[in-house]
Chain A
């Protein structure tokens, strides 16, 4: 067996170490189960070395004995002072790398020698050399230094056979980088890179904290900015609200007994909507889009030339970022592999490839279809009652729970009918309806009464749907079994009937088409059986073809159906052989 090579993401704020084993990359945790090591080094009062969280814990008290963000100094001809001694940046980085090595060796129970370390695409030769030296000081033989966007690309596509141009959008806690990457014949090349060293998810948190402080001042005449205990609670509450708003349209921020006001306990209670939050952070997001345009310009490319967008960094979980990227590029960004850990994973895939192992991209359990509901909105410039609103989008890792807010159309509307669809078409009627229910007894309210629809999909393909009147909490729920494997004949038939009815046509009696239908059904069943094992790209193609067949049959387009069947037959031949 060839020697194992670990992959390391040596970050500005946090670092991780991963190894490729049993056919997949695994990020290694310390004995407390933590996979993320803060990139902070310190010396405590008794002269003991501190690395990671412990060093970070003493930063406020002993900044003169603590170093953080050393990555920003890599390659510079400077030293940092730590407890009255001078250290080169690579020596400080080496301490972080050595701790990661210890974590990995403790976890695996054997010594490790070789590593692949990632660096930002914009790092100069001197910075790369300094990183290599840091690895060597830490006791590693540095097998390779690779770019962070390259590592991210490897996670999603280890084989790299197809020619592609990929945009890697990396928004971490405190830094933002965007890179245009070209992949061809197994070679990953970073064409251009742009970014901002001081922009990240922490800025989003600060905006929410400011909003909370403003709320306390206005509503309760309270200023808690000087109260360390209250501020720490508000900071945590802001972070939790930010995470909640990634999946839900509203977040309740409640902190009981947060302060005293006129000798009485004061509570913090406010609701933050995703819309308000997005308004707060929109200028940050727009700034990242400007950086993208700069990177595209440096690469002499336009947005239409990008084949794929990959999301890296925890802050990319913000739905607004995905939405804006979709608006600019017209394609869905991919972020199904944990964006906090995917660079380390990619580095470990590169390590395994250097060691001669057969490697593959990371496979994540994702939903092959989007799930959503229909609403009155504009379709092709006209008001249409069956506009499809996807709530759980295709390729989202499962299990997943997402919700969205809808409004009643009429004053005093007492009832809403909820239809749940599976599919991608903007016209809900072109998708497969998998469930419907009514919520009756809504309160008498003007039009715009908010209804929250919550979809929760588990690993077994069971979809739990709930619709709740926000004002009163009145709720109805349904459960849909095997939601991910639905594309049944009766559903197709009913879709076809609905479409034909719209065109004033009668559903044709089954005749010679029956044979083609039978063949299509067989193919679809075989294709479905392969969905779990196929690669992400093949899976996408399978799903597209299944849908094309469904659509062609529903509209009675025999030529389109035959073509889709031919293509699916070819793909199945390739995948099954």
Chain B
């Protein structure tokens, strides 16, 4: 570009600037400001939409999170419930197994107790039988009489042929009684306890009345004999007892009974 052209252009620019004047500057300034506000408003509107969209998304996200948390909580509760049920089932099963085992053990205890209560045996198995002479019984009788007259003076050899007089004299029975006591201790340590009933009023929750006896000396409805001992296990009835109960003779003429067959 040559100098003349440059000058011409500068002149035109100068005259243009001079032509604008002071007043003209204001609108130009205002126009610029209007344009900025518009864009600001547009921007704000866009921002508002954006914020709205974002908040919607956030809300959705929160809703989803809430859903997830609810599901997790529900799952947790369901799991907890199932776990609780499974634990209860397991406890029930193991208790049922234990009950059945304890019932077997108390049944063996019954048999041991029957052995201890049985009459003394004349000749325990490990002792030798008396010589098989025809007068063996007479001999035994005489020995028994002799013992009655001179207690403690019989020789050990003679005592071997005689039936024991007391539990202490019968080491077999004594041993069985010791085993029975040990078994009772073992059961008690596991909170399996016998139910004491003799002399007390009959309680159907603890015992089964197997027979009834007309007993003038005992009060009506009182247990007189325990035929089979009952047991509790941790405060629950493991096995009800079987008992004989005293009852006053029925009033004559009364026959109403609860069973209809």
A residues contacting B by CB (< 8 A) are 29, 31-33, 42, 44-45, 50, 53-61, 63-70, 72-73, 80-82, 198, 228-229, 232, 255-258, 260, 263-265
Contact = CB atoms under 8 A, between A and B. Distances in A.
B214 to A, nearest CB: 12
Nearest to A235: B210
B114 to A, nearest CB: 4
A50 B201 CA distance: 16
A67 B259 contact: yes
A337 to B, nearest CB: 20
Contacts of B261: 69, 72, 198
Contacts of A29: 92
Nearest to A261: B119
A45 B221 contact: yes
Nearest to A41: B258
Interface string B68-107: 0000000000000000000000001001100100000000
A263 B261 CA distance: 42
Given A229-B228, A257-B118, A63 B258 contact: yes
Contacts of A264: 119, 121-122
Given A232-B242, A256-B111, A65 B209 contact: no
A67 B244 contact: no
Interface in B201-249: 201-202, 204-205, 207-212, 221, 227-228, 236-237, 240, 242, 244-245, 247
22 contacts: A31-B236, A42-B258, A44-B204, A50-B204, A53-B240, A57-B205, A57-B240, A58-B204, A60-B208, A60-B209, A60-B210, A61-B247, A63-B257, A64-B258, A67-B260, A81-B256, A232-B227, A232-B242, A256-B114, A256-B115, A257-B115, A264-B119
Contacts of B208: 56-57, 60
B124 to A, nearest CB: 11
A68 B259 contact: yes
B169 to A, nearest CB: 16
B114 A257 contact: yes
Given A257-B115, A257-B118, A260-B119, A70 B260 contact: yes
Contacts of A55: 204
B119 A263 contact: yes
Contact of A54 (B204, B242, B247, B259): B204
A37 to B, nearest CB: 15
A70 B259 CA distance: 8
Contacts of B96: 33
Contacts of A66: 258-259
Contact of B260 (A44, A69, A256): A69
Most A CB within 10 A of own CB, among B96, B114, B117, B205: B114
Interface of A is mostly: mixed
A256 B115 CA distance: 8
Nearest to B115: A257
A410 B5 CA distance: 144
A351 B118 CA distance: 56
A249 B156 CA distance: 50
A418 B200 CA distance: 60
Given A33-B96, A56-B208, A260-B118, A61 B202 contact: yes
Nearest to A68: B259
A45 B208 CA distance: 15
A228 B241 CA distance: 13
Given A63-B257, A232-B242, A45 B119 contact: no
B209 A61 contact: yes
B212 A64 contact: no
Of all A-B residue pairs in the complex, the 7 with the closest CB atoms, nearest first, are A265-B118, A257-B114, A61-B209, A67-B258, A57-B208, A58-B204, A57-B204
Nearest to B201: A45
A33 B95 contact: yes
Contacts of B114: 256-258
B209 A58 contact: yes
Nearest to A43: B258
Contacts of A228: 210-211, 227, 244
Question: Which of A54, A68, A198, A260: most chain B Cβ within 10 A?
Answer: A54
B256 to A, nearest CB: 5
A257 B120 CA distance: 12
A42 B204 contact: yes
B121 A265 contact: yes
Given A45-B221, A80-B260, A232-B210, A58 B119 contact: no
Nearest to B259: A68
Given A32-B237, A33-B95, 9 more contacts: A33-B96, A44-B204, A60-B209, A65-B258, A67-B258, A69-B260, A229-B228, A258-B114, A260-B118
Contacts of B207: 57
Nearest to B244: A228
Contacts of B118: 257, 260, 265
A33 B93 CA distance: 9
Nearest to B163: A263
Contacts of B119: 260, 263-265
Contacts of A42: 204, 258
Contacts of B122: 263-264
B227 A229 contact: yes
Instruction: Pick the most buried of B92, B240, B259: most chain A CB atoms within 10 A of its CB.
Output: B259
A60 B212 CA distance: 7
Most buried by B among A60, A81, A255: A60
A256 B114 CA distance: 8
Contacts of B236: 31-32
Given A61-B245, A61-B247, A264-B119, A232 B260 contact: no
A273 B42 CA distance: 104
Contacts of B95: 33
A66 B204 CA distance: 12
Contacts of A58: 202, 204, 209
Which residue among A45, A61, A81 has the maximum number of chain B CB atoms within 10 Å of its CB? A61
Nearest to A65: B258
Nearest to A40: B258
Contact of A81 (B111, B209, B237, B258): B258
B259 A265 contact: no
A72 B260 contact: yes
A443 to B, nearest CB: 26
A54 B205 contact: yes
B210 A64 contact: no
A256 B113 CA distance: 10
Contact of B259 (A63, A232, A256, A260): A63
Interface string B169-206: 00000000000000000000000000000000110110
